[in-house]
A and B are shown apart, each in its own frame.
Chain A
Amino acid sequence: MSALDQMYQQVILDHAKNPHGRGLVDAPAGDAVGESHQVNPTCGDEVTLRVAVADGTIDGVSWEGQGCSISQASTSVMTELVTGRTLAEVAELDGVFHRLMESRGKGLDNEEDEDLLGDATAFTGTSQFPARIKCALLGWAALKDSLARSGALAS
């Protein structure tokens, strides 16, 4: 498979075409809510993400954004991955995904971590292209910031 095909795997193209969580929705009453707007200043890609947290667990993620297929697909995959997870699990996922994106195309050398990321391992191909890593991390940055703003991390 060419580097280009490794980057644009079908699962990524599918998520880009039919993204999960797109369209901001109101959080359930009583949830801790945080929202974050992130921009990739080099290309103008942006995402506004809202997270709802209940009892230390991600109750819902929704977002609006525009950008390349990598940023849109990555935010979509992340939305699926983190919904229903505890804050500790999300922090772990965030760390593992960042490690994947720093792997310069080599991926994670550990099956357990790959299982943890599921579809998100498809971004291994993206990590070969330094200019595109930020695209894949845009949604994750918005999630991290909105969690911080929700106040849920402190409790």
Chain B
Amino acid sequence: MSTDTVRLGAPPAGIDWNAVRSDFPLLGRTVRGGRPLVYLDSAATSQKPNVVLEAEVDFYEQRNAAVHRGAHQLAEEATEAFENARSAVARFVGADDDEIVWTSGATAAINLVAYALSNATLGRGAPASSRFALRPGDEIVVTEAEHHANLVPWQELCARTGAVLRWFPLSDDGRLDLSADVVTERTRIVAFGHASNVTGAVAPVAALVERAKAVGAYTVLDACQSVPHLPVDLHALGVDFAAFSGHKMLGPTGVGALYGRRELLADMPPVTTGGSMVEVVTMATTTYAPPPQRFEAGTQMVAQAVGMGVAAQWLGELGMDAVAAHERALAAELLKIAEIPGVRVVGPLDAVDRLAVVSFVVEGVHAHDVGQVLDDRGIAVRVGHHCAQPLHRRFGVAATARASASVYTTLDDVVTFREALAGVRAFFGEE
């Protein structure tokens, strides 16, 4: 394998990416007997910069109180921090504040939509919600590339309502095959990932939104992988709903967001019910608060939301165009593993419209064993099906190994990874 690489050096944007990396304390630790950590598992979860860690500590040390209730000063400050975080996240993804619903993560956000549609189908929230009611024979469209979190909730919704699940297949290079006539007059929902967590391929959002709109179907975008790595403007994309998580975008675990167009959230019935999401409660009936509070029952994950808000702000200040350019260069470097004998990349081989997420198989060596050898060199990659079994089945493999980058990933990380990967087959006597 050629080890020639184009040094990223000082990028045009003038960002010192090594300084960016040094903002992430965890990346300074060693693993497996003193080896420097090479963290290439950011598509699973990202590491956190100091500002995010400090924001959570600051919240608990200075502001911790129940939000949206209580007249004391702490309650005011906690509520302000919570709502400022919502604004920061909204601004970051091109949404309005009241279009962002806090959830425990992207999985919960997608399930929230699916169960709201279920409740609408049962007549809850009618007449406003009747636009969401599903009838037997209605169709829900997904893609073969979906993470289980954007597949299983729709399978379940179909099972509950009699709707039928259909999907766009994948072409051999891992891109969506839009030639299939999947979206029809019966389609009510088109749910798809903005970028695949396995192939890294970025979906043609505009084309899918156009098809959905043409038949009056709602679009649900799984934006988990895109929001941390690309400039995302949800209003400009024109999707109806979107889900993303805090922990993949340098924020804390336990928090994520559902975006919904204002008029849609307004017509949606609640899913989780209880405190904080109500207007008037009598012993017999309850009226519900407007969105987003209607969908935020119970005590919220306030400190995590504050952390996610700071992460959004930090990424925004870094500049998502610069982040995307940095990671595009890393993607090109990661893709050079395809030149290693016996290594096959599952997904597009060109760095266009794809993220720095590269899944691969090594001939004669199972992904688990590949990951184990890399781990011994201090390199953290993901192995397995990455919660996308149908995609793996499509490519005839049960498991792949995956290297994925983020803002703090450096060219040195990728070079170390490529060199270690080049030695894997020899370790197992496959050469």
- Residues on A lying within 8 angstroms of B by beta carbon are 2-4, 7-8, 13, 17, 42-46, 66-70, 129, 132, 135
Contact = CB atoms under 8 A, between A and B. Distances in A.
B367 interface: yes
Contact of A2 (B366, B376, B385, B398): B376
Given A3-B32, A3-B376, A44-B389, A66 B428 contact: no
Interface residues on B, range: 20 to 34
Interface in B395-416: 398-399
Interface of B: 32-33, 365-369, 372-373, 376, 383-385, 389, 392, 398-399, 427-429
B32 A67 contact: no
A86 to B, nearest CB: 34
A45 B398 contact: yes
A15 to B, nearest CB: 13
Contacts of B32: 3
Contacts of A17: 429
Given A4-B376, A44-B399, A67 B384 contact: no
Given A8-B427, A13-B429, A68 B367 contact: yes
28 contacts: A3-B33, A4-B373, A8-B428, A13-B428, A13-B429, A17-B429, A42-B384, A43-B367, A43-B383, A43-B398, A43-B399, A44-B385, A44-B389, A44-B398, A44-B399, A45-B368, A45-B398, A67-B368, A67-B398, A68-B366, A68-B367, A68-B368, A68-B369, A69-B365, A69-B366, A69-B369, A129-B372, A132-B372
Contacts of A2: 376
B391 to A, nearest CB: 12
A142 to B, nearest CB: 16
B315 to A, nearest CB: 30
- 10 nearest CB pairs, A to B: A68-B368, A68-B366, A4-B376, A44-B398, A43-B384, A44-B385, A69-B369, A44-B399, A68-B369, A43-B399
A69 B398 contact: no
B369 to A, nearest CB: 5
A141 to B, nearest CB: 17
Contacts of A46: 398
Nearest to A69: B369
Contact of A132 (B368, B384, B389): B368
A13 B366 CA distance: 12
